[in-house]
Chain A
Amino acid sequence: MLKDTMSGFELYQPTDVDNALALVDRFGKNGWLLAGGYDSLDWFKNRGKTPVAIIDLAGVEELRGVREVGEILEIGALTTLTEIERHPLINERFSLLAEAASKVASPQIRNAATLGGNLCQDTRCWYYRYGLNCYRAEGNTCYASGPEALNREHALFGASRCVAVTPSDTGPVLVVLDAEMVVRNSKGEHIIKAEDFFMDPAVDLTRMTVLEPGDLLTAIRIPNTWAKQSFYFEKVRDRNSWDFALVSIAAAFVVEGGVVDDLRVTCGGVQCVPRRLRKVEDFVRGLPKNERTGELAAEISVSGAQVLNKNHFKVSLMKNLVKRAIRDG
């Protein structure tokens, strides 16, 4: 199979959301929404996906930019990761998000890749990406969980047939910040909480988000709840550029007199969705923010982990990240 060229498609470049949605409806399953293009073009070049019509959103200005709407910071889904990394308001209030954006892939990719794309991108399981007929590709097996499988990057938690993990760095951050996703389709607009935005594989294996065909993620709204609190973000990966997280952690703390009043902790790279560590949050709330609390929380954080053949290391990695987040965040 020719693996270097995209198959032919029609390209549409709408300049507003209504036209984009009309095109989405017109082409249905044969259409494909294109944002930054880094995930999409890989699929097209590998002929993993061969849509008939590409709806290029790059010209839709209303999907770009960061706006203040009352107490809420609204970020257009097409805002690039570089813009997020440098934006003064985001750096002032939610430096966590700017930091996560700055750790995505490489500078050139961040210049084109968008926040919406980072949230909606498909998983990186290479068995799936290679085009194998696995569960996620509507087949009937998982190649990544077999005894000989190379599954160093795969899930510790919540696997349901498929053991792939969320590749997004900004996803865990938005869960921590209680963000809301603004979704539009031809029927209107609705809001989905960040925590509910990612698809549980037990519900539907074939997509990463709860977006239905015909839906368009238009913006991400971040309430002021966690603005300017103390944050912690760390992404561990095999190399410092280009790479997806082996495990990442995003955390926010409200600290009063050395005691944790409230907190949010979420891990990426350990489950198909950003994993919010509720048990850790419940345990740490009300305790002094120090190394000892971190150590105890670390033990709690990995309870229930189901390791695969090659990913045991993620257990200790995750524990260390939880400890560091609580001690240093």
Chain B
Amino acid sequence: MAKGNFRRYDLHESQQNCSLENIDFCDSSTVPFLNERYSRRDFIKGVIASGIAIAGIPYMASGQVRPTSSLGSVERLVSLNVNGQVRRVDVLPNETLVMTLRYKLGLTGTKLGCDRGECGACTVLIDDVDHYACSTLTHRVRNREVTTVEGLENSEGELHPVQSAFVRELAPQCGFCTPGQVMSAVALLKKNSNPTREEVRIALSGNLCRCGAYDHYLNGVMSAAQEINRG
């Protein structure tokens, strides 16, 4: 992971005047990965070794990044409390939480769907409240506790009751929205462990499921609630 991070930052600095937006018009010598020194094989190996999807590069190296910060603005190196672990990470001022989680901390359980707060795939808990990670600046969650779907299983490695209920009730179909649905359901059950079906419906109304498996998810949450209350 760390290796990959450094590599990306090299990218920013060499690209100050050459964003990916106008890459076609740039002198290739200013863009490391277009330079002949990097063979295609090196590039692919680099990507695999860094464990970072290519998809992350345009996001991270987006235009006009200013590497130095001006007086009073946020420090880029921050500590984040994610799933109970404090992790040091270099965060751009314009970076959203979903980018940090997926492309810097390797927590790809949180999905990136619409990137506009209109689908719910990126739902995570911040201090036990459900939020869209795509529309939360990472710098906002310093000193907060972030929980992603990876942080739900207990110390024995058992799934959270919501997760096992979703398995039992065959809730997901394609599964892309599932981490978000799980997090919304967990947030609900944390504040209301005995919800009505209607309350569950409202709690999950911020998560789209293109397979249309909504009723299965509702069954799952109702079943998880029963299990939690049985203890």
Contacts and interface: CB of A to CB of B under 8 A. Distances in A.
12 contacts: A2-B58, A2-B62, A8-B65, A12-B74, A34-B137, A58-B140, A107-B206, A108-B117, A108-B130, A109-B117, A111-B129, A112-B135
Contacts of B58: 2, 4-5
Interface stretch (A40-48, A62-70, A150-158, A168-176): A40-48
B123 A108 contact: yes
Contact of B66 (A8, A38, A54): A8
Nearest to B202: A107
- Judged by DSSP, the binding face of B is loop
B20 interface: yes
Interface in B107-138: 115-118, 120, 123, 129-132, 135-137
Interface string B129-162: 1111001110110000000000000000000000
A23 B73 CA distance: 10
B69 interface: yes
Interface string A239-265: 011100000000000000000000000
A38 B93 contact: no
Interface residues of A, number: 35
A240 B208 CA distance: 12
A7 B62 contact: yes
Contact of A10 (B70, B115, B120, B203): B70
A7 B64 contact: yes
Chain B, interface size category, equals 35 or more
- Judged by DSSP, the binding face of A is mixed
A56 B92 CA distance: 14
B74 A13 contact: yes
B75 to A, nearest CB: 10
A56 B131 CA distance: 17
Interface in B63-111: 63-66, 69-70, 72-74, 92-94, 96
Contacts, number: 107
A1 B203 contact: no
B184 interface: yes
Contacts of B115: 4, 45
Contacts of B64: 7-8
Given A2-B62, A106-B205, A9 B135 contact: no
Contacts of A7: 62-64, 94
Given A41-B135, A58-B140, A10 B73 contact: yes
Interface of B: 20-21, 58-59, 62-66, 69-70, 72-74, 92-94, 96, 115-118, 120, 123, 129-132, 135-137, 139-140, 184, 202-203, 205-206
B139 A108 contact: no
A6 interface: yes
Nearest to A106: B206
Contacts of B63: 2, 5, 7-8
A105 B59 CA distance: 26
Given A2-B20, A44-B94, A108 B206 contact: yes
A9 B93 contact: yes
Given A1-B21, A54-B93, A240-B205, A108 B62 contact: no
B21 A108 contact: no
A268 interface: no
A56 B69 contact: no
Contacts of B118: 242
A84 B219 CA distance: 29
A13 B78 CA distance: 14
